[in-house]
Amino acid sequence: MNVLQPLILAGLPLAALPVIIHLINQRRFQTVRWGAMMFLVAANRMARGYARLRQWLILALRVLGLIGLIFAVSRPLASGWLGLAAGGRIDTTIILLDRSASMSQQEPGASRSKLRAAVEQLAGTLRLLGSNRWILIDSQTRTPHELKEPGELLQSPETDPTSAASDIPGLLDAARQYVRDNKTGRTEIWIASDLRRADWDEQSGRWEGLRSAFLEFPQAIRFHLLSYADTAADNLSIRVVNTTRRRTATGAELLLSMVLTRDQPTPAPLSVPLRIEVAGASSELTVEFTGNRHELRDHPVTLDATQERGWGRVSLPTDGNPSDNEAYFVFAPPPRRQTLLVTDQASTADALQASAGIAPDPSLTSGVDVVGVDQLAGVDWDAAALVLWHSQLPTSDTAAALRTFIDRGGQIVFFPPDTPSAASFLGQTWKNWIEPAAELGVETWRGDQDLLANTQDGSSLPVGELSIRRYCRLEGDAVPLATLKGGAPLMARAPTDRGGAYFVATTAQPRDSSLAANGIVLYVFTQRAIAAGVSVLGDTRAVAAGELAGLNATADWTRIAGAADTISTDYGYQRGVYSVGEMLFAVNRPPREDDPRIVPDDGVNQLFSGLDFRRVEDQASRLSTLVQEIWRSFLLVMMLALLGEAALCIPKVLPKPAEPSA
């Protein structure tokens, strides 16, 4: 059992005092044989068994009363199996709070979200456990905030829900840095999350480094996971995946492509009403939903011919998670999908030029400029959406220009040159070419996100059908998106704050791979990279919540649509429509927040393998705190024991002798 005042338990030996006093009292009297008493002793032997039992019961109740008093004063906790208060006084308690959109889900019959339940549970629990200091690190800012006491969690704006995703490894790394920089003593780290796979990224190589870093600390560090892993079977979400404005014979119209998803497949066809609002006008549309996904392509909405630029919203009826019932969009004439192909071998650029130059929609305009490295001085980087780089990795001024291009949201895909140099870019270096004895296939690839993700209808790209005849070894800390048999990366993404930098370990030339012959994969990932690059061009953009958070401190944001109670510093994290200067932004939750998959129990245990880790399952509908003081129960035990002892000590009432008859 765990107690808040463990030193009080040192007084438990005092419970033996009634027994000791009883034994001492027995030694005070000496037996003197007296013949006249022998008849009384003989008469008393008949009741000796009951008297001895009564004496032992009185002793036991006195001992129990003292034990109850000692435990009541030591403030025991109800959830002792958690081991929450073991090990002495806590120096620092760090709270890692998942504020992602999925944490806004409410359970059936519950009046609060998972996030609010976690905040209330932590406030009540940590108040009981005590600590020298409490530090809150939320999933958006990842900045430590010191709390005066755990009750501040209930009013802190850093505990409000957002529309952004979470990065749990990043949260843990922020906690690691705090422990290192502040040289904390005994530390408790509480993680409140719904265990969404997209937020935990359990396949990331960062977890191994985090485990090693925490194990190296000399002080005791204990992890507690407050888990809200239940999903809402009937939760529906809506997302606008594309908007296209086009002229018609009578004016103009907006083509909306939307995706509806459900956490679990519907057992029967379901009619879902959609409300579409554009330029102050609203309309309703009923969609027949089956399975767990429904795609609605190019739904027309009539526009005024003079309306070139604007915004709108699509909404669902209220359900278990209000954070995914709305999707905002902005529209304007689409910018040119311009690609810059940098190569010193123009004869080998045909496949790349074709994959970038053919637009997926006839209404879109595309262009590809083929230039050499020595011609980059006159390039208009602001007009390019994608750079395909088939040359030596850039250095000096060229590397600086590409970093600026990526920082503004541009996309770049590197292909290895015939003779790699020692140059590196974003921590990546091309090494030597490898020619295997036989063609290699692709062993694994990321189908859940990024350039090789499944199509909108859930079908996977034919990445596994590719044949690799020659590949260049890549050295660096890039995240693999596809690996060859044997583990070598075929495609990897370098870490960037914005934009995208990808490295493909082979080329589209027939001697190297079948990328050109089986052109679907090459075309799809090229067009996806262009679409990501185009999204930051023009004066209207659709962005994921959190993507533009860096602008909060420097830009003057104006809320046009969205929750009225959103504070200005959170505009970049909350769904809605905002203007920043001449730019118009539609902010929505990231696509990965619609993935209901959670990290399995074995996976969680593996992530914390070797660390002092405990997991606490909880529900949003639960109102009590995780731990409760139960001293009142022990006080009641003491009172009942003393009452029982008093009852046994009452002298036996003898019957009145019969009066003699006259």
Question: Which one, of 293, 227, 309, 225, lies nearest residue 459 by Cα?
Answer: 293
CA–CA gap between residue 209 and residue 169 (Å, rounded): 10
Is residue 168 a contact partner of residue 200, using CB atoms and an 8 Å limit?
Answer: yes
Question: Which one, of 250, 350, 338, lies nearest residue 300 by Cα?
Answer: 250
Which pLDDT does position 276 carry in this prediction? 94
Is residue 555 a contact partner of residue 585, using CB atoms and an 8 Å limit?
Answer: no
58: tokens are 């009185």
Residue 39: pLDDT band (50, 70, 90) is low
Q: Measured between alpha carbons, how far apart are the two ends of the chain, in Å? A: 70
Q: Which run of H or E residues covers position 189?
A: strand 187-193
Q: Give the 3-state secondary structure of residue 15.
A: helix
Which pLDDT does position 400 carry in this prediction? 92
Instruction: Phi first, then psi: give them for residue 556, nearest 5 degrees.
Output: -95, 100
CA–CA gap between residue 491 and residue 471 (Å, rounded): 11
Instruction: Return the bridge partners of 612, or none.
Output: 222
610: left (phi over 0), alpha (psi -120 to 50) or beta: left
Highest averaged pLDDT of the listed ranges 204-208, 361-365, 551-555: 204-208
Average pLDDT over residues 475-500: 90
Instruction: Identify the DSSP state of 275.
Output: E
Which pLDDT does position 529 carry in this prediction? 92
Highest averaged pLDDT of the listed ranges 25-34, 80-89, 620-629: 25-34
Is residue 369 a contact partner of residue 569, using CB atoms and an 8 Å limit?
Answer: no
User: What residue type is 173 in one-letter code?
Assistant: D
291: left (phi over 0), alpha (psi -120 to 50) or beta: left
Helix/strand number for the chain, H first, E second: 12, 26
Residue at token pair 């030694």: 27
279: tokens are 């330029």
CA–CA gap between residue 634 and residue 67 (Å, rounded): 8
Residue 448: pLDDT band (50, 70, 90) is confident
The distance between the two most distant Cα atoms of the chain, rounded to a whole number of Å, is 143
418-436 pLDDT, tens digit per residue, is 899 999 999 999 999 999 9
Is residue 331 a contact partner of residue 541, using CB atoms and an 8 Å limit?
Answer: no
Q: Give the chain's length.
A: 662
Average pLDDT over residues 31-48: 59
Residue bearing the bigger pLDDT, 360 or 161: 161
Instruction: Phi first, then psi: give them for residue 142, nearest 5 degrees.
Output: 55, 30
**pLDDT value at 633 more than 80:** no
To 10 degrees, what angle do helices 48-73 and 631-649 make?
Answer: 160
Angle CA 501–505–509, to nearest 5:
115
Residue 631: pLDDT band (50, 70, 90) is low
H-only helix segments in 512-607: 519-534, 601-607
289: tokens are 């939903």
Which pLDDT does position 615 carry in this prediction? 85
520-533 pLDDT, tens digit per residue, is 999 999 999 998 88
Q: What percent of the chain has pLDDT over 70?
A: 84
Residues 6+ apart with CB under 8 A from 540: 309, 330, 331, 332, 583, 584, 585, 586
Is residue 365 a contact partner of residue 336, using CB atoms and an 8 Å limit?
Answer: yes
- For the ranges 86-100, 310-324, 509-523, the lowest mean pLDDT is seen at 86-100
Is residue 240 a contact partner of residue 256, using CB atoms and an 8 Å limit?
Answer: yes
Tally of CB atoms within 10 A around 423: 15
**pLDDT value at 583 more than 90:** no
